[in-house]
Amino acid sequence: MPVDATDQRNNEPSELDREEFARLFSRHARRIYAFVMTLVFNHHDAEEVFQNTSVVLWNKFGEFKPGSNFFAWASRIAYFEVLSLMKQRRRSRTFSDEAL
């Protein structure tokens, strides 16, 4: 079944897109979270990355190729979200007065 990324009239996801995304996401959500946990090692960071990944997956669902591997696609996006979190954390590190 082809995924129509948006309703052409109002540029919003169609009902079929919503249903297909919900079906695929619910089938793979635990596995995506487990994958994120292998990369960040704590639940707080995993929750943050998982939430960010979920939003990106929904926003980019129009780019998903029907019939391809949803988990592979989603885990690649999750990986980039982990990298983004690590980059943010590196920028926010500061040294204490004692270390300086």
Taking only the tens place, the pLDDT of each residue in 17-67 is 889 999 999 999 999 999 999 999 899 999 999 999 999 999 999 999 989
Query: If you search the block for the tokens 């591997």, which residue do you land on?
Result: 69
Tell me the one-letter amino acid at 7: D
User: Is residue 7 predicted with pLDDT exceeding 50?
Assistant: no
Q: What would the pLDDT profile of 76-96 be if each residue is shown by its tens digit?
A: 999 999 999 999 888 776 655
Instruction: Say what percent of the chain tops pLDDT 70.
Output: 79
Say yes or no to pLDDT of 9 above 80.
no
Nearest to 35 by CA among 72, 65, 75, 3: 75
Q: What is the largest CA-CA distance in the chain?
A: 62
